[in-house]
Chains A and B, each alone.
Chain A
C-alpha cells in the first residue's frame, strides 16, 4: 500500500493525469458496466486506456495510489461500492488503521485537527 499525503486536492493537473481513470471509475454507476468490470477488471481498464500504475492501483485496491494517480475520492468510492464495501474501507488505508479501527475512531469523535501524518 502506498504512503499517503495529508490531503488530496483534485486540481486541474491531477484531473488531467487522472482523466481516463476517473472516466473508468465513473462508468461504474451503470449496473451493466459493474458486471462487465467484475467479470474482467484488467480488460475493462484497458478499454479506458488506463496507464499501468493506475490499472495496478485499481486491481490491487491501492487507494492511496489511486489518488496519487489523479482519482477523485468520489470516483474512487465507486470501486468501494462495486466491492459492496463502506467508506471506511477507502479511508482506512490512508491512515494505517483497519476499517474496523477507523470506524471505532469515528465513533470516538474522529481525528482531531492537526493530528495527521505529514507526507
Chain B
C-alpha cells in the first residue's frame, strides 16, 4: 500500500513565486524568507515523493463564483498554469496522477466526503508557489505528479476547520489504501495571518501564528475547534486559509516528527510560515 512520507504546511503568497521567477531571492527584502526555507528544501530534496497531494484554494482564476464547490479534486492528467491577470508564471505545467485521483475520489466519497471533480483546471499561485517552495528549480518538469485538492475559502460559508481536519483523516485513509508502494507527500497551503482589504488591511498576528505553528503538530483538534469567526478575527479575512493546513495534518498519522519550521513577516501583505513534518507511520 502507499504511504505518506511527509507533510508540508506553507504559505502560498504570489510574490514568493514572483521573487523566484525574477531572481530576487537574494535581495534584502526576500533573503531572510528564503534562508528560512533552506533546511526544509534540503530535506525534501533528499526525500522525494512519488506523488504529491496539494491542498489549496483557487483565487478567482479557474473556479468562478457561478459554481463554488466546498471541496473539489483535480482528476486530469495535466494542469496548465493559470494567467491570473499578468500572464502565467514561467514554470512547467503540472503533471497529474489521474489513477491516484480516481482512487482518492472514490475512497473519499465512500467515506462520506462528496467531492466535486475537476477535469479541466488551470492551477494558480495557490498550487504553484508551494511547488516552488519544495522545488525552486524544476527545469522542464516538476519532480513528481500532483493531485490538486481544492477548498473553498473565498466565499462564506467556508467548510469548518473541523470538517477540513476530518477530510484530512479520510484523505489519509484513502492514500494508505492505494494498492501500490508509492511514497506520497501532502501539502497544506495558505495563510498565515493576513488581510487584504478593509480597515484592518495589513493585519499580522504573530502570537496567533506561532500558536498555530506549534499546535498543528500535537494539538490539531484544538485548531479544528476554531470557528470561522474566530479565525477571521485572529488571522484576518484571508487568514482563514489556514483551515487547509488541517487537511494536510489530518492526513498524517500522529506519529510524526517536525523536521523544520520558519516564520517571516512580511511576504507582501502576509505572514509567511512553513512547517515540515516527517510521517513515521503507525507507531
Taking beta carbons and an 8 Å cutoff, which residues of A are in contact with B? 4-12, 15, 19, 22-23, 25-26, 28-31, 34, 63-64, 67, 72-78, 80-82, 84, 86-88, 90-92, 94-95, 102, 105-107, 109-113, 115-119
B227: min CB distance to chain A, Å: 13
Q: Which of chain A's residues has its CB closest to B59's CB?
A: A74
Q: Which of A8, A74, A78, A102 has the most CB of B within 10 A?
A: A74
Docked complex Cα distance between A76 and B238 (Å):
14
Known: A81-B86, A111-B203. A8 touches B237 (CB 8 A): yes
Neighbour of A28 across the interface among B59, B85, B195, B205, CB < 8 A: B85
Known: A19-B65, A106-B202, A107-B266. A90 touches B83 (CB 8 A): no
Count the B residues whose beta carbon is within 8 Å of the partner chain — how many? Answer: 40
Contacting A at CB under 8 A, from B49-70, are: 59-61, 64-66
Docked complex Cα distance between A15 and B197 (Å):
16
B135: min CB distance to chain A, Å: 25
Contact across chains for B202 and A111 when beta carbons are under 8 A apart? yes
A60: min CB distance to chain B, Å: 16
Contact across chains for B155 and A12 when beta carbons are under 8 A apart? yes
B200 within 8 A of A: yes
Docked complex Cα distance between A63 and B206 (Å):
27
Chain A contacts of B196 at CB under 8 A?
73, 77, 87, 90-91
Docked complex Cα distance between A12 and B77 (Å):
33
Contact across chains for A77 and B202 when beta carbons are under 8 A apart? no
Chain B contacts of A5 at CB under 8 A?
198-199
Chain B contacts of A102 at CB under 8 A?
201-202
Taking beta carbons and an 8 Å cutoff, which residues of B are in contact with A? 29, 59-61, 64-66, 82-87, 154-157, 195-206, 208, 232-234, 237-238, 265-266, 268-269, 271
Neighbour of B155 across the interface among A72, A78, A112, CB < 8 A: A72
Contact across chains for B238 and A73 when beta carbons are under 8 A apart? yes
Chain A contacts of B84 at CB under 8 A?
29, 78, 81
A102: min CB distance to chain B, Å: 6
21 contacts between A and B (CB under 8 A): A8-B197, A9-B232, A9-B237, A15-B65, A22-B64, A23-B65, A26-B65, A29-B60, A29-B82, A73-B196, A73-B237, A76-B197, A87-B196, A90-B197, A102-B202, A107-B29, A109-B204, A112-B203, A112-B205, A116-B199, A119-B199
Contact across chains for B208 and A113 when beta carbons are under 8 A apart? yes
Known: A81-B84, A112-B204. A74 touches B60 (CB 8 A): yes
Q: Which of chain A's residues has its CB closest to B83's CB?
A: A29
Contact across chains for B269 and A87 when beta carbons are under 8 A apart? yes
Docked complex Cα distance between A74 and B157 (Å):
17
Contact across chains for B265 and A109 when beta carbons are under 8 A apart? yes
Contact across chains for A31 and B83 when beta carbons are under 8 A apart? yes
Chain A contacts of B206 at CB under 8 A?
109
Chain A contacts of B157 at CB under 8 A?
11
Known: A77-B85, A106-B268, A116-B203. A10 touches B156 (CB 8 A): yes
Docked complex Cα distance between A78 and B83 (Å):
11
Neighbour of A75 across the interface among B60, B195, B268, B269, CB < 8 A: B60
